[in-house]
Amino acid sequence: MKTLFTDHPNSVNETYGEHMAMSASFGFAMLCGAFAAMVHAVFPFLFERTGSAIITRLHDRMVTNRIRVSPQSSPQAGPSAVHPAAAE
């Protein structure tokens, strides 16, 4: 049962607590982006670049700068190191 909570965090070189904090920060950023997009839908002069800026920042944090660990290799940085099972 413990591996249900640790396999994925280990695959991205994080502990359970680190992964929980990182995921929560992503979720909060996405909520902020959703709010900005909804306001922008009604008032197009507000939050003109906020949603795309949040998406770009999250992509950089998650894909470009994330260290992933595959079962066959040691930690490597960047998207080329993404193990297919870890690319969720």
16-68 residue pLDDT tens: 999 999 999 999 999 999 999 999 999 999 999 999 999 999 999 888 776 66
How far apart are the C-alpha atoms of 33 and 12, rounded to whole Å? 24
CA 64, CA 58: separation in Å to the nearest integer?
A: 9
pTM comes to 0.67
Cβ atoms 74, 85 nearer than 8 A:
no
